[in-house]
Amino acid sequence: MLFYIQRDPNTNTAIYALNYQENGKIDKKNPIKAYWIRYAEKGEKKDFSYIQRKFAYGIESKALNSEDFELQFVSYKKLPLTLKKLDSDQQYHVFVNVNQKKIQVEKIFVRIEGGSFWLPNVKYVEVTGIDVSSNKIIAERILLK
């Protein structure tokens, strides 16, 4: 798992992991596999529905080079993420810049207050992970209007 998203008032968790091909290499056309852990349904794993994948929680990717990718949520393109293989551990990690801080993403929390299925009223998004400059755990909030 690279990172996950939780939101309220729902207990289910969206998981974002590397998508490997049968040969064990990352799928460069579609490097992220995303799915639910449905805690409300005995913790079962379930793929996103078509609507969730295309309009809400899906990720689009674009190769930047042979090891790095730009990622964007289909529902919020103003928060570009980078999937990057680090030399230090030879593992892939996801990074984002929030409030002038570069964060290695571990989790994202979305605060929703009302709205509808197609237009939820998202109050804020909080990104938690490792601050690249200090190597400390950090949480940064993005207020949405």
- Averaged pLDDT for residues 39-62: 92
**What integer pLDDT is reported at residue 119 of this predicted model?**
83
pLDDT tens-place string over residues 65-115: 988 999 999 988 999 999 999 999 999 999 999 999 999 999 999 998 888
**What integer pLDDT is reported at residue 120 of this predicted model?**
85
- Averaged pLDDT for residues 114-125: 86
The answer for residues whose C-beta is within 8 angstroms of residue 37's C-beta and 6 or more apart is 12, 13, 15, 43, 44, 45
**What integer pLDDT is reported at residue 135 of this predicted model?**
96
**Both tokens assigned to 101:** 């801080």
The answer for residues whose C-beta is within 8 angstroms of residue 54's C-beta and 6 or more apart is 74
Q: Answer yes or no: is pLDDT of 7 > 80.
A: yes
Average pLDDT over the chain, rounded to an integer: 93
The answer for residues whose C-beta is within 8 angstroms of residue 89's C-beta and 6 or more apart is none
Dist. CA 144–CA 141, nearest whole Å? 10
**What integer pLDDT is reported at residue 145 of this predicted model?**
66
Tell me how far apart the 2 most distant CA atoms of the chain are, in Å: 45
Domain ranges of the chain: 3-143
pLDDT tens-place string over residues 25-42: 999 999 999 999 998 888
**What integer pLDDT is reported at residue 114 of this predicted model?**
85
**What integer pLDDT is reported at residue 66 of this predicted model?**
86
